[in-house]
């Protein structure tokens, strides 16, 4: 299991939408589970590094 440590503002909306759009553009299927304290994004194991790279760059605004 890999982690993408980040904190978001509770007033932000559309975060899971942005994540799913980024992964969809790279043809990476995902299941997003939203919980009270943590959200989880499940992607195929063989695509995990590509997904982490894409989501990391999303967080840095690249």
Domain ranges of the chain: 15-60
- Which residue has tokens 């440590």? 5
- Per the CB < 8 A criterion, the answer to whether 29 and 48 are in contact is no
Across the range 10-20, mean pLDDT stands at 80
pLDDT tens sequence across 25-53: 999 999 999 887 778 899 999 999 999 99
- Which residue has tokens 């304290």? 37
The overall pTM is greater than 0.85: no
The structure tokens listed for 49 are 């590094």
Helices and strands in the chain, H and E counts? 2, 2
Which pLDDT score, from 0 to 100, does residue 22 have? 93
Q: Using 50, 70 and 90 to split pLDDT, how confident is the model at 1?
A: low
Which pLDDT score, from 0 to 100, does residue 36 have? 78
Residues with Cβ within 8 Å of residue 44, at least 6 apart in sequence: 28, 29
């Amino acid at each position: 299991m890999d982690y993408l440590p980040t904190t978001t503002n509770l007033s932000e909306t559309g975060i899971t939408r942005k994540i799913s759009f980024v992964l969809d553009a790279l043809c990476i299927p995902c299941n997003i589970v939203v919980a009270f304290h943590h959200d989880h994004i499940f992607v195929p194991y063989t695509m995990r590094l590509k997904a982490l790279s894409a989501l990391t760059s999303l967080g840095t605004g690249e």
